[in-house]
Structure 1
Amino acid sequence: MNNEAKPTSRNALYRISQLMGFLLGARFFVAVLLTFALYVSTFFLFNREESFRNFVFDYKVHFIIVCSVFSILAGGIINRFYDKEKDQLTQPFRSRLQSFLKEKYFLIAYVLLNTLSLGMAFFVSHRVFVFFLIYQFLMWFYSHKLSKIIVINNVTFVALTLYPFFGMLIYYQTFSLKILFLAIFLFLMLFIIDVIKDTLTKNADRMFGYDTIANRIGFRNTRSILLILLMITLTISVILSVGIGFRNIMSWYFLITIIVIITTVFMLFRNQKNDKFKSLNLLRLWIFFGILAMLLDGIYHKYPWLI
């Protein structure tokens, strides 16, 4: 009995390891967060006029978001393919889990996800098809070439992260000064996060030929650039907080952002062990809180009786 149970438990553990390796390789958890952010921003920011019922039954919106998710998952797989050697050095645990699954399965999943995404996009319209075809090409080109070019790698990474949101903005044709400042704020936050991440992986980046700001000018000069970017972000936060009005949840979010930015600056210049890692995760967590703040703010204004 015990001898039969051991192979079964080992097989189950192996299958779980394969599943976790695939999910991590495809950046599944990042895709889940972006899906949540897309739905929140679409309904409460870009689409302020449509009722919840109409939004739920608008299949085009759901198809576009699902296309975005499939493309993001495929992008995670192709990025993992090109960064495999570097990830083995910087993320050994994740790389170990991914090794349980053969490379061909990742490539099959990449082709399948992109095909499904383009098929659904074509069903919506030929313009949406072209939009996602460009997105998938840029995902591949970033992983293949652009990720190794200084500054362009950071800008492209952030632009590709925001690309699906730009698509929803065009779909609803909702342009305003508030959305412009929100886009600048989010762009700066993601850019800062990516540059801080590069300071943590600079040795591996140098070894595998990734030309980053941290490797080109050193941590001290990179830190000065980060300070300038953080101060610009702080200014944008003040503008958004005042412009939105202090009765809104999002206004308080941007006010507290000032404290978060000052804390980040303090940690970067204190430069003690794990401070860069802490500042990186603090900013990532704050973006997630921003999504929650937008959700609560939207519910408060559209459905005040729920709060």
Structure 2
Amino acid sequence: MERLANKKFFLFNFSLLIRVRITNVIMLILAMYISAIFLFNEKHNIIENLKNIKLHGIVFSSALSAMAGYIINHFYDQDKDKLYKPITSMLLQFINQKTALRLYIIFNFISLIIAALLSYRIFIFFLIYQFLIWFYSHKLSKIIFINNITSSILMIFPFLALFLFYENFSKYILYLAGFLFLIILIRDICKDLHSYKFDHLFNYSTIPNSLGIIPTKIYLDVLLFLLTILSICLTFEPHLQEIRLYYLLTGFLSFFIIIGIWFMRNKWIQIIILMIKFWIFLGTISLLFIDGNPLSLL
């Protein structure tokens, strides 16, 4: 009996970690701490940053809100996911929908309590963030173009909290925000391209499903061209000179994908999606080398 209980407990927690996409949440936490210490705070004082209670509060409120967001997003997409991600959907069955929705409320509630203890402005910020996540899942995800743009904005929304907290309005940070937005938007559209057949089956309002494959690839080429130009601009940004190789390589890769995407089969799109995830991770780690770090990339 005890062995069965332990097995159920393990399967429940394992299912929960998959449902909240724990790897994405860990990446978010890592990215926020690295950005706060090496990007937004120009003094780069690690100890002083880690003593700041508000920073930890913002990071964990963001993580909890994101976890809740993944839960509610799966709630609306579960029918498609059963076909598109059968193995993942099977593993998620160890948590029923009522329990998942309770966890969604609990995560959001704890996030708001932490935010309220920090300041009423931070509380309002996360209240808006959580509402936008729900509104996206409930309504905006069904509107062509708006769904991809909103999803990409929500992915970088927690960094806006850091942007406002540190009040660092430097031009290069705005460029980096645009850079990250474009990469996430390209990845989001590639995901729609990869799941085209399933979106068509459930009549999802994605760009490939509504406009077709060729217009989608043209749209991707425009975004990739913009990413190429922005990457070149960041290559010559003085504040990022230690990591300019990363942006230079991004520019080259984007330029080649502009051409290559027309010759790629659907299975190769999945590889591009994985490459983009890795490239975002690499970009996050590269921030450690900003401003005089002994390990220079070029």
Q: TM-score range by the shorter chain?
A: over 0.9
1:49 paired with 2:55, answer no
Give the conservation status (yes or no) of the 8 Å contact 2:228–2:252. no
**What residue ranges of structure 2 are gaps of 5+ in the alignment?**
none
Give the conservation status (yes or no) of the 8 Å contact 2:235–2:241. no
TM-score (normalised: structure 1): 0.91
Following superposition, the deviation at residue 49 of structure 1 comes to 2.2
Following superposition, the deviation at residue 112 of structure 1 comes to 0.9
Query: Which of these two proteins has the greater Rg computed from alpha carbons?
Result: 1
TM-score (normalised: structure 2): 0.93
Residue 75 of structure 2 corresponds to: 81
Residue 282 of structure 1 corresponds to: 275
**What residue ranges of structure 1 are gaps of 5+ in the alignment?**
none
Give the conservation status (yes or no) of the 8 Å contact 2:38–2:44. no
1:258 paired with 2:251, answer yes
The alignment of Structure 1 onto Structure 2 pairs a total of residues equal to: 297
Q: In structure 1, how many angstroms separate the alpha carbons of the residues matched to 2:75 and 2:215? A: 31
Give the conservation status (yes or no) of the 8 Å contact 1:70–1:117. yes
Residue 180 of structure 1 corresponds to: 174
Residue 37 of structure 1 corresponds to: 31
261 and 13 in structure 1: CA distance in 2 versus 1, 3 angstrom threshold: farther
251 and 279 in structure 1: CA distance in 2 versus 1, 3 angstrom threshold: same
Matches within 5 A, 1:63-212: 63-212=57-206
Q: In structure 1, how many angstroms separate the alpha carbons of the residues matched to 2:196 and 2:240? A: 41
Residue 24 of structure 1 corresponds to: 18
1:291 paired with 2:298, answer no
78 and 147 in structure 1: CA distance in 2 versus 1, 3 angstrom threshold: same
Letter in 1 for 2:159: F
Residue 222 of structure 2 corresponds to: 228
Give the conservation status (yes or no) of the 8 Å contact 1:77–1:110. yes
Following superposition, the deviation at residue 85 of structure 1 comes to 0.7
Q: In structure 2, how many angstroms separate the alpha carbons of the residues matched to 1:38 and 1:246? A: 18
Q: In structure 2, how many angstroms separate the alpha carbons of the residues matched to 1:265 and 1:276? A: 13
Q: In structure 2, how many angstroms separate the alpha carbons of the residues matched to 1:97 and 1:287? A: 27
SS at match of 1:274: helix
Question: Identity across aligned pairs (percent)?
Answer: 35
Following superposition, the deviation at residue 51 of structure 1 comes to 2.2
Q: In structure 1, how many angstroms separate the alpha carbons of the residues matched to 2:169 and 2:43? A: 14
Q: In structure 1, how many angstroms separate the alpha carbons of the residues matched to 2:168 and 2:245? A: 24
The alignment yields a C-alpha RMSD, in angstroms, of 2.2
